[in-house]
Amino acid sequence: MASEDIQKLLEGMEKEAKIIKDSALRYSWYMRGGVSYEDILNMSFEERESIAKIVEDNLETTKTSKMPFF
């Protein structure tokens, strides 16, 4: 592997890590302390997808019911 290829791979991994960290922080905020940041980071990809779906469903329910979310 060329040094440029390695650099691109590392940059891609750094971006992916940032996205995971950002998502974990958002999910822990949405879960209102029910799940910690560290707990979310230790979850599998599939588990984090499930959390994202729960958040999405709750936001949609909030919109349609006009109940306060924040």
* Under 8 Å between Cβ of 10 and 17: no
**CA 4 centroid distance within chain:** 29
Residue in 14, 26, 21 with CA at minimum distance from that of residue 51: 26
Q: How far is it between the farthest Cα atoms of the chain?
A: 55
pTM: 0.75
User: Does 69 have pLDDT greater than 80?
Assistant: no
Residue 70's pLDDT band, with cuts at 50, 70 and 90, is: low
For the chain, which residues make up each domain, given as ranges?
3-65
| Burial zone of 40 (CB within 10 Å; 0-12 exposed, 13-18 middle, 19+ buried) | buried
Q: What is the pLDDT of residues 19-65, one digit of tens each?
A: 999 999 999 998 887 899 999 999 999 999 999 999 899 889 888 99
Check residue 19 and give its pLDDT: 95
Check residue 58 and give its pLDDT: 87
